[in-house]
Amino acid sequence: MKSVEAAAGYLLIAPFMLMFAVFKLYPMLYGIAVGFWDRNSEMKLLDTTFVGLSNYITVLKSASFWEAFAHSIVFSVIYIVFLMVFGFLAAVLLNRKFWGRTAVRTCFYIPYVTNMIAVGIVFKYLLNPVRGPVNAIFRLFGASGPGWLSSPVMALPTAAVIAGWAALAFHIITCLAALQDIPADMYEVADIEGAGFWQKLRYIVLPYLTPTLFMLLTITLINSFRNYTAIAGLTGGGPGTSSKVVSVLIYDDAFNFLAFSRASAEGVIFTIFIIIVNRLFTKARSIWESRN
Amino acid sequence: MKRIVLVSIAMLIAVSSVFAMGGGETSAASEYDRIVTTTVTATYLNETWFNTMNADFEKETGIHVVVQPVPGDEDEYKAKINIDLMGGSDVDVVETLGPKDYSRQVSAGFFMPLNDAVEAAGIDPYALYGANLPVEKDGNYYALPFKQEMYCIFYNKAIFDEAGVPYPEGPWTWDEYVETAEKLTDPKKGIYGSFMNADLPWMYMPAQQLAVPFYKEDGSCNFDDPVFKEYAEWFKYISNDLGIQPSVAELEAENANWNYYALEGYRLAMFPQGNWFTRLLNSQEDYPKDWNYGVAPLPSAGEGGNNNLVSLGYVAINKNAAHPEEALTYALWIAENQWKYEGGIPAFATMSEEDQQLAFGSIAEASHGQVTVDDLYQNLVNTGLGSVSSDIVGTAAAEYYNIVKEELSSYNMNLQDIDTAISNIVTRVNEAIANAE
Amino acid sequence: MGIKKLKRKDIVFTAVMWLLALMMLYPFIMMVAISFRPSGQAYQPLFSSGIIHTLRSYKQVLSHPNFFDWYRNTVVTVVVTIFIRLVITILAAYSFSRLKFKGKGLILAFLVATMMVPGETTMVPRYLYFKQIGILNTLWSIVLPEASEVFYLILLIEFFSSIPGDFTEAATIDGAGHLIILFRIFIPLSGPAIATTVLFSFINIWNNYLDPYLFINNIETQLITPALQFFQEQGGANMPVQMAGSALALIPVIVLFVFTQKYFVQGVASSGIKG
């Protein structure tokens, strides 16, 4: 009986695994192999000479890689915090009853489907330090606003927040869904006890949503490293190299400089890092859960 | 639920039938006896002259041109053709982006040498193109130059008239240029006397006119030559300190293209650009403006710097071309004729009067009297200036370009001093050169 | 007094929410505004004097000989991908969530780990490989790799795991095979989860830029999102035309969003996403 079940199990995952192996896994393994070859210039594009770890050593020694690495981490931290906090808050607000709620919700979802190029253009205009409306507000109060996307300090955080803003819909939808599962009588009890908005948030909503938020955090953690389109569209990695993240570095090395092996080594090192972070996060989560 | 399943199955059947028919196959292959495929930047696709040109080519030779444009800008085009050619694409003709990537693509073995075929066609390319023919170290040339972009100064006649300053005339020097720009700059009216984007080659333009080599004799980076430093500092001075043009911080903030800066965002009295810009200046529909433009030659950078910056366009044939014969016919035809359709300057060593008329006639006509054929010829071609490439070429040129841009931007935004910037450039470029070899 | 105060608070709240909604919508409004302008005024503020309004961009997009090819290709790709994705993912998710077999945990852990590989690293290998197997320059080069997406597998596994075990046990005792259980019990129960998969898949594939840009060369085979980048002019992108194209390309996505919103939220609510 057990072996029959196992056979069925393998049979049913076979189509997925087959498609996965052929169209996803094989290119990945190929990509890893490239990291051990010497395809670092136009002359060696189809070269398969094994060069051991030399690409990895080059990458680990290169200052630009570590700079990009640090930028990626900064980007991810800001992106994750922004999405987790504002996605949750927006969902709580949108869960209350008010006139035109459905329409307002739809407005909150639109950025998710809007073309990133359009988003880039609009934010560049809004945040233009010289003639943009945002800094005009700063000047109204006699302050000179920050340079936003053009300031070496602010460019990366600004881009992270805009990317987070564009991805907000997914978090809102997920949190809204979870909010609907909270039994209405819990609010009634809270109302009778005279709990305010923040107290309700702290003692009812937050505990109820913890599993959802953990799930979202995992997804966001992975997605936060897929930031090529956002950075390319908003800052192009500039000014200077101040917002050049690893994904932009990899794209440049591979397609503009034709150094595929180096790009591949960069990708592998970075992937290992992401996996480690993810494992640590899962560990932390299980410890936290066992305590509660 | 059942209904949903039924509907989706019906939809799938409908869709898969379309899928099976459409898509994949190029219909052109079966309809025409002889075809040639060419990959170009998407810009061409939206130009009427490009379609007219290909139609004329087909009429003349009976070969149908299948265009494979690459979505996106020039950077994306470059990345895409690199991937395609490396992956063994059998597209026939490639309009490369010129010298910047040419030698790298040749070393990658992407292109076919053209010597024998061109000579068999009865053309003496050395006489026709002179120094513009991209002959590689092995004595072969793998592309034909089909146009050249010449730099010049475009100016806004209305601003000059208003300030009572006479229009600029060549020959002149950068000092005179800056002096004129100072007279015209008027912050109250939002007028900048000059404009140069925080990009290459403008960030050290005169150094390039002085033809300072980018590489030392041993092949390493030569950006520590004092002339580069001098003009990088000059650029920062005129932008950030003198204020005759927008500060670099402001340009980085806008992070826009020339079209925006010159025709929408600012009122500019003068700016150095290539002759391709005439097409925008002439386009009242896309870029409405209420002023007339004029053309002056590029200022000289002093002794040894009497040079204009020139950027060439190359057409090459893929080594794996599916239709090599047609590819050659097309490439030769392009090299001979494209400039006439495009309204550009041919890459010939000398231009006859008829050539001038052909090259500039359409621009002058489209300008509705703003510029004449003679204006254009005298200020773009017959300037008495020699010519140097406006691009960084050679080993690791693309990295070189990026690194210089990044480091000089940081310098211009006061993030590092000039010596740090230059030493960073030298270290990083040398690293890139070592990696490439 | 109390009621009045409450009402005023509600009005303020509603106003604030509408203001926020407008802010969220602003880029979209801007996009539409730009699509009616000439290139030379693309970057002007929303309300500024001297703006010329024109339908030229829309004419240019709609009169492009390949525009409807791109639209059709995209619809076809989206529908076929979602269909294949659903079939193989549902089967696998059922197996992973309900059946016991050796190495299950290991396989799953491995699949999850591959989610973290940045796509940029595999672009070139994929290109070479797709050319080798002859799907380059066809819509299959988008459909087939997209079909097995681990994210949706995890989503469906989580959902299937939440279906009470008694259902299956009863069916198993009746002697029903796995496929019958799957079709009679799991699929009817997982309407919302499947809807979620369909909608997120639709949005993601519709907006996919990099893959079709890399793997498709013929202009008539291109998909809509990268194809909008065909609208370039001298010196850069032709903003108004691209915005007009984006607006036209967004219509199906927005329609889908608006009309399925309610179902959408329910879908996520009962599916595994929320944890």
The structural domains of chain B, with segments of one domain joined by +, span 32-149+311-364, 151-310+389-436
The mean-pLDDT minimum among A103-112, A141-150, C56-65, C239-248 falls in A141-150
CB pairs under 8 A between A and C: 250
Full domain range(s) for residue A139: 63-291
Q: Which residue of A has its CA nearest to C264?
A: A173
C 22-51 near B (Cβ less than 8 A) = 38-44
- Strand pairing partners for B148? B312, B345
Contact B264 C219 (CB under 8 A): no
B356-371 tens-digit pLDDT: 888 888 889 989 989 9
Cα dist from A157 to A128, B407, B413, C114, C142, whole Å: 15, 21, 19, 28, 33
- Residue B39 near residue B95, CB atoms below 8 Å: yes
Residues in chain C: 275
Residue A56 lies in a domain: no
Q: Nearest by CB to C21, which of A108, A122, A247? A: A108
**pLDDT class for C10, splitting at 50, 70, 90?**
confident
Supply the pLDDT for residue B3: 56
The yes-or-no answer to whether B32-149+311-364 and B151-310+389-436 have a common fold is yes
Joined tokens for residue C1: 């007094």
Contact A107 C21 (CB under 8 A): yes
A165-220 tens-digit pLDDT: 988 988 998 888 888 777 777 777 877 777 777 888 888 888 888 888 888 888 89
Please tell me the distance in Å from C120's CA to the nearest CA on chain B.
Answer: 13
Parts of chain B with a pLDDT under 50: 21-27
Indicate if the pLDDT at residue C55 is higher than 60. Answer: yes
**pLDDT class for A163, splitting at 50, 70, 90?**
very high
Q: Which residue of B has its CA nearest to A149?
A: B253
Dist. CA C208–CA C263, nearest whole Å = 24
Q: Nearest by CB to A239, which of B105, B413, B435? A: B413
Strands C236-237 and B293-296: unpaired
Neighbour subunits, B (≥3 Cβ pairs < 8 A): A, C
Q: Across chain B, which distance is largest between two alpha carbons, in Å?
A: 85
Dist. CA B106–CA B67, nearest whole Å = 23
Supply the pLDDT for residue B164: 94
Q: Nearest by CB to B255, which of A46, A150, A258? A: A150
Whether residue C125 is preceded by a cis peptide bond, meaning omega within 30 degrees of 0, is no
Supply the pLDDT for residue C2: 46
Based on the structure, what is the number of domains in chain A? 1
Supply the pLDDT for residue B362: 85
Please tell me the distance in Å from C81's CA to the nearest CA on chain B.
Answer: 10
**CA C136 from centre of chain:** 22
B303 CB neighbour count, 10 Å cutoff: 7
C219 CB neighbour count, 10 Å cutoff: 22
What ipTM is given for this predicted complex? 0.84
Q: Which residues contact C154 (CB under 8 A, 6 or more apart)?
A: C112, C272
Supply the pLDDT for residue B156: 96
What are residue B62's phi and psi, to 5 degrees? 75, 10
Contact A41 B398 (CB under 8 A): no
Joined tokens for residue C206: 């519709």
Q: Which CATH superfamily is domain B32-149+311-364 in?
A: Periplasmic binding protein-like II (3.40.190.10)
Joined tokens for residue B177: 């240029």
Q: Nearest by CB to A256, which of B79, B107, B250? A: B79
C 49-78 near B (Cβ less than 8 A) = 52, 56, 69, 72-73, 75-76
CB pairs under 8 A between B and C: 133
Joined tokens for residue C121: 């690293």
C 181-220 near B (Cβ less than 8 A) = 187-188, 191, 213-214, 217-220
Supply the pLDDT for residue C272: 47
Averaged pLDDT of chain C: 83
Percent residues over pLDDT 90 in chain A = 20
Supply the pLDDT for residue B25: 45
Dist. CA B244–CA C257, nearest whole Å = 51
Indicate if the pLDDT at residue A248 is higher than 60. Answer: yes
Closest by CA to C184, choosing from C113, C94, C117, is C94
Contact A256 B83 (CB under 8 A): no
Q: Which residue of B has its CA nearest to C220?
A: B23
Residue A49 lies in a domain: no
User: Chain B residues contacting A, CB < 8 Å?
Assistant: 75, 78-79, 82-83, 86, 104-105, 107-109, 249-250, 252-256, 396, 398-399, 402, 406-407, 409-410, 413, 415, 428, 431-432, 435-437
Cα dist from C35 to A107, A211, C131, C234, whole Å: 20, 43, 37, 18
The answer to whether residue C260 neighbours chain B at the CB level (below 8 Å) is no
Q: Nearest by CB to A149, which of B78, B253, B406? A: B253
Amino acid identity, residue B65?
A: V
Instruction: Show me where the domains of chain C are located.
Output: 65-274
Dist. CA C5–CA C24, nearest whole Å = 29
Burial of B120 (C-beta count, 10 Å sphere; 0-12/13-18/19+): exposed
Joined tokens for residue C71: 């639209």
Dist. CA C126–CA C141, nearest whole Å = 9
Closest by CA to B61, choosing from B314, B337, B317, B320, is B337
- Strand pairing partners for C233? C236
Please tell me the distance in Å from C105's CA to the nearest CA on chain B.
Answer: 32
What are residue A247's phi and psi, to 5 degrees? -65, -35
Supply the pLDDT for residue B20: 52
3-state SS assignment for residue B64: strand
**CA B225 from centre of chain:** 26
Query: Which CATH number covers residue A147?
Result: 1.10.3720.10
* For residues C211-225, average pLDDT: 89
Please tell me the distance in Å from A90's CA to the nearest CA on chain C.
Answer: 9
* Residue C232 half-sphere exposure toward CB, CA atoms < 13 A: 23
Indicate if the pLDDT at residue C197 is higher than 90. Answer: no
C20-40 tens-digit pLDDT: 999 888 888 888 998 999 988
Supply the pLDDT for residue A72: 94
Q: Which residues of C87-105 are buried (b: 16+ CB within 10 A; e: fewer)?
A: ebbbbbbbbbbbbebeebe
Contact B435 A262 (CB under 8 A): yes
* For residues C240-250, average pLDDT: 89
Dist. CA A240–CA B411, nearest whole Å = 9
Amino acid identity, residue A122?
A: V
Q: Give me the helix-helix angle, A116-126 and A155-179, nearest 10°.
A: 120
Residue with tokens 């929410």: C17
Averaged pLDDT of chain A: 85
Please tell me the distance in Å from B39's CA to the nearest CA on chain A.
Answer: 17
Contact C76 B39 (CB under 8 A): no
Supply the pLDDT for residue C171: 67
Residues in chain B: 437
Please tell me the distance in Å from B193's CA to the nearest CA on chain A.
Answer: 19
C112-143 tens-digit pLDDT: 888 877 776 677 778 878 888 888 889 999 99
State the CATH class of domain C65-274: mainly alpha
Please tell me the distance in Å from B297's CA to the nearest CA on chain A.
Answer: 32
Dist. CA B204–CA B236, nearest whole Å = 10
Q: Which residues contact B14 (CB under 8 A, 6 or more apart)?
A: none
Q: Which residues contact B322 (CB under 8 A, 6 or more apart)?
A: B37, B90, B91, B92
Substitution target in A257, A260, A261, A262 with the highest count of B β-carbons within 10 Å is: A257
Q: Which residues of B145-168 are buried (b: 16+ CB within 10 A; e: fewer)?
A: bbbbbbbbbbbbeebbeebebeeb
Q: Which CATH superfamily is domain B151-310+389-436 in?
A: Periplasmic binding protein-like II (3.40.190.10)
* For residues C97-121, average pLDDT: 84
Residue A17 lies in a domain: no
Closest by CA to A35, choosing from A227, A248, A229, A250, is A250
Residue A232 lies in a domain: yes
Joined tokens for residue B406: 């990044």
The mean-pLDDT minimum among A251-255, B216-220, C88-92 falls in A251-255
Contact A31 C26 (CB under 8 A): no
Number of H helices, E strands in chain A: 14, 0
Supply the pLDDT for residue A197: 78
